[in-house]
């Protein structure tokens, strides 16, 4: 009886850890849904939306998911830490010109994907991150999720 109880406890613990770990990061579907909400918010009131994105208000910060945008000048117009800095000049941790690629693929009315290497929050080792990207008027916006 003790052996069965211990096995059941171990299985339950592993299941809990697996669910908790998975829930710590946003999913591709959640990232895409957030980007769709970004489009609606920018179209409704661009100035207000950009402030909300930067502050993570209104449901625009969910675990490791958040939107970021850049304007026609290539600088961030919304980002939790990079506001006003060069978006187009952004490179991933291996030197890939991430910002330039995002600007190149962003098209009004469609969502594209850009993969790059970036560390998870609080970590230093880069892992694969995928950004869903679109253009809304003069704004290029993205929401990224960690693939690994």
DSSP calls for 50-78 = HHHHHHT-TT--BTTB-EEEE-TTSBEEE
The dihedral of CA 8, 9, 12, 18: what is its sign? negative
For CA atoms 116, 76, 31, 146, the dihedral sign is positive
5-56 per-position pLDDT tens digit: 444 333 333 334 344 445 689 999 999 999 999 999 999 999 999 999 999 9
Residue 148 is predicted with a pLDDT of: 76
Assigned token pair, 69 = 């945008």
Higher pLDDT, 63 or 19: 63
pLDDT at 24: 87
- In the chain, where are the structural domains located? 24-146
Q: Which two tokens stand for residue 24?
A: 């710590």
Higher pLDDT, 109 or 10: 109
> What architecture is the 24-146 domain classified under in CATH?
2-Layer Sandwich (3.30)
For the entire predicted model, the pTM comes to: 0.83
Which two tokens mark 16? Answer: 């809990």
- Radius of gyration over every alpha carbon of the chain, rounded to an integer in angstroms: 18
Q: What would the pLDDT profile of 113-131 be if each residue is shown by its tens digit?
A: 999 999 998 899 999 999 9
Distance CA 50, CA 53 (A): 5
Query: Beta partners for 143?
Result: 67, 132
The span from the CA of 58 to the CA of 78, in Å, is 14
């Amino acid at each position: 009886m003790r052996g069965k109880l211990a096995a059941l406890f171990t299985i339950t613990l592993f299941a809990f850890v697996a669910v908790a770990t998975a829930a710590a990061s946003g999913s591709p579907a959640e990232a895409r849904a957030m980007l769709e909400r970004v489009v609606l918010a920018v179209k409704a009131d661009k100035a207000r939306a950009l402030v909300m994105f930067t502050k993570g208000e209104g449901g625009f910060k969910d675990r490791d998911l958040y939107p970021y945008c850049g304007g026609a000048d290539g600088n961030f117009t919304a980002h939790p830490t990079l506001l006003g800095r060069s978006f187009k000049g952004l490179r991933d941790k291996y030197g890939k010109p991430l910002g330039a690629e995002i600007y190149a693929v962003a098209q009004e009315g469609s969502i594209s994907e850009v993969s790059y290497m970036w560390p998870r929050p609080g970590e230093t080792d880069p892992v694969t991150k995928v950004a869903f990207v679109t253009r809304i008027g003069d704004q290029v916006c993205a929401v990224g999720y960690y693939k690994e």
